[in-house]
């Protein structure tokens, strides 16, 4: 390095001596040129003919400089890799912590969601971040609170209103909605309940009604029905979509009525315990009426008291049909439309064609006998013989009708409809109806036991004969 510095300082002076020597030669001043050339002697060591030492020095310096550059470059490379590794470690650590927190939050959400799915009460999840997971946790907590609110509403009103109705109204927000639907309405009451209640203490009456309503409500709910209200000892219920699917509402109502008879039979065995009357407990006989048609379904009432109910002519008809049991001595009577929709699920017999107060068109009514295919041979024979007597009665063939009805009593001496028609045959034989009489009987009031032949001929569609399932 020192040689290079010496050469750098001497080069300019060396070139100056050369320039002066050449200038003297050019001017022909030989003596001056020789004198100037003597000045080259002091540069002999630096610019002599042998430059091998200098070349070696240059090579050594170049090699040393190269090694230093490479060493620094390698150090920079190591530093870069080190910084990169540190940055990666820090990044991975931060990511691991963030991922762990996110996964922990998501796992908690999954556990809580599964708890809700299984029906268990879920607690709100902790909100540990303000990112998307935190937003999800916040939304989940809002959902949990809403579910709790709905459950509180259902728990509060479920004792007074059918829980399925509460669920439907809360779920679709249709608390004010009402619509026309085809549906089936059911009425029932306890025969002679006023007399029964007079025999019992107030506590026994309440126990009896609560036990009876409990049995009835369970059966109706099991068959997809909705209890509308309790009126004294009477029960009003209805079947309609979405609780019953399609036209199944009529069959559901009929099957529920038959199941109620079985439940009431079991209840009779507990009457001594329920009423406290160990001897001669009251007889519990329930009469039922079922009608199918159009009605308006919705929440109806004042601003302070409303109920989810059904209104319309079908309700009135079902109520009157229930009362008709008193006239015919039957337990379950239904309308023609009910039988048409449910005939593949039940056994029934046609009872009569009647007109009731408030209606001008005759209504064909049927008595329910049992489940489809479960009719005993005796009851099957009674149904066939009664149908033959009913046909003769409508053709005013009184002797033939009387013969068939007497044959029915031979099969079942306690058959209420048969006894009623024998009385009518005797009455109409003495006071015949008009020649164009259609066989319809008018009941002036609900539960009227007398009545009279209907004078006006109905429209054909109103008294059409159904094809009964064989």
How distant, in Å, are the alpha carbons of 145, 185, 432 from that of 229?
A: 32, 12, 44
| The Cα angle at residue 143 between residues 140 and 145, in degrees rounded to 5 | 110
> Which H/E stretch holds residue 452?
strand 452-453
Angle at which helices 416-430 and 398-411 cross, to 10°: 160
417 lies in some domain: yes
3-state secondary structure of 289: strand
114 lies in some domain: no
Residues forming beta bridges with residue 309, ordered by sequence position: 298
**Which structure tokens are listed for 125?**
């999840």
Q: How far is 293 from 271, CA to CA, in rounded Å?
A: 36
238 lies in some domain: yes
User: Tens place of pLDDT for every residue, the chain, 470 residues?
Assistant: 555 556 566 667 777 777 777 887 788 787 877 787 777 676 665 555 555 565 666 567 667 767 776 787 778 788 888 888 888 778 777 766 656 665 666 666 666 666 665 656 666 666 666 666 667 766 767 777 777 766 665 554 555 456 666 566 555 555 556 789 999 999 999 999 999 999 999 999 999 999 999 999 999 999 999 999 999 999 999 999 888 888 999 999 999 999 999 999 999 999 999 988 888 888 899 999 999 999 999 888 777 777 788 999 999 999 999 999 999 999 999 999 999 999 999 999 999 999 887 777 899 999 999 999 999 999 999 999 999 999 999 999 999 999 999 999 999 999 999 999 999 999 999 999 998 898 999 886 554 445 666 654 443 333 333 333 33
pLDDT of residue 207: 93
Do the Cβ atoms of 453 and 437 come closer than 8 Å? Answer: yes
Residues forming beta bridges with residue 306, ordered by sequence position: 301
CATH number for the domain spanning 212: value is 3.30.70.1230
- For the chain, what is the domain count? 1
Q: How far is 25 from 31, CA to CA, in rounded Å?
A: 9
The boundaries of the domain holding residue 423 are 184-463
262 lies in some domain: yes
pLDDT of residue 166: 59
119 lies in some domain: no
Q: Which residues contact 101 (CB under 8 A, 6 or more apart)?
A: 128, 129, 133
pLDDT of residue 243: 86
Count of helix runs (H) and strand runs (E) in the chain: 14, 10
Report how far apart the first and last C-alpha atoms of the chain are (Å, whole number).
127
pLDDT of residue 468: 37
Place of tokens 């003769």: 392
19 lies in some domain: no
pLDDT of residue 164: 64
Burial class (CB in 10 A: 0-12, 13-18, 19+), 202: exposed
226 lies in some domain: yes
Radius of gyration, CA atoms only, the chain: 54
What are phi and psi for residue 413, nearest 5 degrees?
-65, -20
Q: How far is 156 from 170, CA to CA, in rounded Å?
A: 13
Q: Kindly state the DSSP code that residue 130 receives in the 8-state scheme.
A: S
Q: Which residues contact 183 (CB under 8 A, 6 or more apart)?
A: 238, 239, 240, 249, 292, 293, 294, 295, 297, 310, 314
Q: How far is 162 from 426, CA to CA, in rounded Å?
A: 49
CA-nearest of 42, 58, 50 to 10 is: 42
69 lies in some domain: no
Q: How far is 74 from 72, CA to CA, in rounded Å?
A: 5
Do the Cβ atoms of 188 and 253 come closer than 8 Å? Answer: no
Q: How far is 334 from 295, CA to CA, in rounded Å?
A: 17
Do the Cβ atoms of 141 and 124 come closer than 8 Å? Answer: yes
Q: How far is 137 from 143, CA to CA, in rounded Å?
A: 10
3-state per-residue secondary structure call for 244-272: CCCCHHHHHHHHHHHHHHHHHHHHHHCHH
Model pTM score? 0.65
What are phi and psi for residue 29, nearest 5 degrees?
-100, 85
Q: How far is 441 from 421, CA to CA, in rounded Å?
A: 11
Do the Cβ atoms of 459 and 438 come closer than 8 Å? Answer: no
CA-nearest of 382, 350, 345, 378 to 364 is: 350
């Amino acid at each position: 390095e020192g040689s290079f510095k010496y050469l750098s300082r001497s080069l300019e002076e060396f070139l100056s001596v050369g320039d002066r020597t050449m200038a003297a030669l050019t001017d022909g001043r030989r003596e001056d040129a020789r004198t100037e050339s003597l000045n080259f002697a002091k540069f002999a060591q630096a610019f002599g003919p042998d430059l091998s030492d200098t070349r070696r020095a240059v090579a050594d310096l170049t090699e040393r400089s190269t090694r230093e550059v490479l060493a620094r470059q390698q150090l920079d490379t190591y530093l870069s890799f080190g910084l990169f590794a540190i940055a990666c470690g820090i990044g991975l650590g931060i990511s691991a912590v963030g991922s762990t927190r996110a996964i922990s939050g998501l796992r908690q959400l999954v556990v809580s969601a599964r708890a809700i799915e299984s029906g268990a009460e879920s607690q709100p999840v902790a909100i540990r971040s303000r990112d998307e997971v935190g937003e999800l946790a916040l939304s989940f907590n809002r959902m949990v609170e809403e579910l709790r609110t709905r459950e509180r509403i259902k728990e509060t009103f479920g004792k007074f209103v059918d829980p399925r109705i509460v669920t439907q109204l809360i779920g679709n927000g249709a608390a004010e909605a009402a619509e026309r639907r085809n549906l089936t309405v059911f009425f029932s009451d306890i025969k002679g309940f006023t007399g029964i209640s007079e025999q019992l203490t107030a506590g026994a009456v309440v126990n009896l009604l609560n036990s009876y309503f409990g049995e009835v409500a369970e059966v109706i709910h099991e068959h997809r029905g909705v209890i509308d209200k309790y009126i004294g000892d009477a029960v009003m219920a209805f079947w309609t979509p979405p609780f019953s699917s399609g036209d199944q509402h009529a069959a559901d109502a009929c099957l529920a009525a038959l199941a109620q008879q079985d439940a009431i039979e079991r209840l009779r065995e507990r009457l001594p315990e329920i009423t406290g009357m160990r001897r001669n407990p009251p007889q519990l006989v329930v009469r039922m009426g079922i009608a199918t048609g159009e009605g308006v379904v919705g929440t109806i009432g004042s601003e302070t008291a409303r109920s989810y109910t059904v209104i319309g002519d079908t309700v009135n008809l079902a109520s009157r049909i229930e009362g008709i049991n008193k006239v015919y001595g039957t337990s379950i009577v239904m309308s023609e439309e009910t039988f048409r929709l449910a005939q593949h699920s039940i056994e029934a017999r046609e009872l009569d064609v009647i007109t009731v107060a408030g209606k001008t068109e005759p209504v064909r009514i049927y008595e329910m006998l049992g489940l489809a295919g479960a009719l005993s041979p005796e009851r099957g024979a009674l149904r066939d013989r009664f149908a033959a007597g009913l046909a003769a009665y409508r053709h005013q063939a009184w002797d033939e009708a009387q013969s068939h009805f007497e044959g029915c009593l031979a099969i079942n001496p306690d058959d209420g409809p048969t006894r009623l028609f024998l009385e009518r045959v005797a009455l109409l034989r003495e006071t015949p109806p008009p020649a164009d009489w259609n066989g319809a009987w008018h009941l002036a009031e609900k539960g009227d036991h007398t009545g009279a032949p209907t004078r006006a001929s109905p429209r054909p569609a109103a008294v059409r004969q159904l094809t009964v399932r064989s």
